[in-house]
Copies of this chain bind each other. A is one copy, B any other.
Amino acid sequence: MIRVVVIDDHDVVRRGVIAYLDTEEDLDIIGEASSGHEGAALVKEIQPDVVLMDLMMENGDGIEATKEIMKTESCNCKIIILTSYYDDEKVFPALEAGAFSYMLKTSSADQIADAIRKAAMGENVIESKVATKMMTRFQREKLPHEELTNREMEVLLCVGQGMTNQEIGEKLYIGIKTVKTHVSNILSKLDVHDRTQAAVYVHRNQLLNHK
C-alpha cells in the first residue's frame, strides 16, 4: 500500500481526487489538508510515502510547504506537484524546492494515479509541457559565455533579430558609437567574431523565446 496525503485548498478538487484515488486498491489516502502550513505539519506527523500538493493556495502556498517538508531530515516522502499552471515562475521554484514530480490538472485521473505509483518506486513524472521548459532552461544554464551586463543582453537580443547598429541605437536611445562598444564587448565575451555569429548564438540558445 502506498500512503498518500493530498494537500489542496480547493475542496471540490481535493475531494474529487481523493474519491478517485480511493478506488485504487494499492493507494491509501491517510490524510488531507487545505493549506500549505497545515499540510506540512500533517506530513511531518504521519510520514506518508507520497504527497499530492497544489501550488496555488490561500494560506501558505505549495512552494513554501514543499520547502518546509523537504527540510525535515527524516523525510523520505515524494512530493508531486499538481497544479493548473506551468509558467516559469511556478515551475522552477517548485522544482528547486524539492518537488519530485510535476503534473497538470489537465492530466487524467489515471495519469495521476500512475504518477503516484511511480513516485513511490522512485521514478519521477514530469508533464510534457513542463519537461519542455526544463529542457530549454537546462540548455541555458549550460551557456559557456561570460556574464553579459543587462545592457549588453538588450543589445545582443537586438542583434539576434537582425538589427543594424543604427537601428539598435535608435531603439535604445543611445548613439551608434555606444552600440558599437557594446557589440564589441559582446563579441569578445561570447567569443565570436562578428554579429552574424552572435545572432546565430542567440537562436541556438533560444534567448529570444523568453524575452
In the complex, besides A164-B194, A196-B196, A200-B203, 8 extra interface pairs with C-beta distance below 8 angstroms are A160-B200, A161-B200, A162-B199, A162-B200, A195-B196, A199-B200, A199-B203, A203-B204
A124 within 8 A of B: no
Q: How far is the CA of A194 from the CA of B194 in the complex (A)?
A: 13
Closest 10 CB pairs of A and B: A162-B197, A203-B203, A162-B200, A196-B196, A196-B199, A162-B196, A199-B199, A195-B196, A199-B200, A161-B200
How many Å from the CB of A166 to the closest CB on chain B? Answer: 11
Which B residues are in CB contact (< 8 Å) with A13?
none
Q: Measured between alpha carbons, how far is A197 from B159 in the docked complex, in Å?
A: 9
Interface size classification for chain A = 10 to 19
Copies of this chain, tallied across the complex:
2
- Cα–Cα, bound, A192→B203 (Å): 17
* A contact set with B: CB distance below 8 Å: 159-162, 164, 192-197, 199-201, 203-204
CB distance from A19 to the nearest CB of B (A): 23
Which of A159, A161, A162 has its CB near the most chain B CB atoms (within 10 A)? A162
Q: How far is the CA of A192 from the CA of B159 in the complex (A)?
A: 14
Q: Which residues of B contact A201 (CB under 8 A)?
A: 162
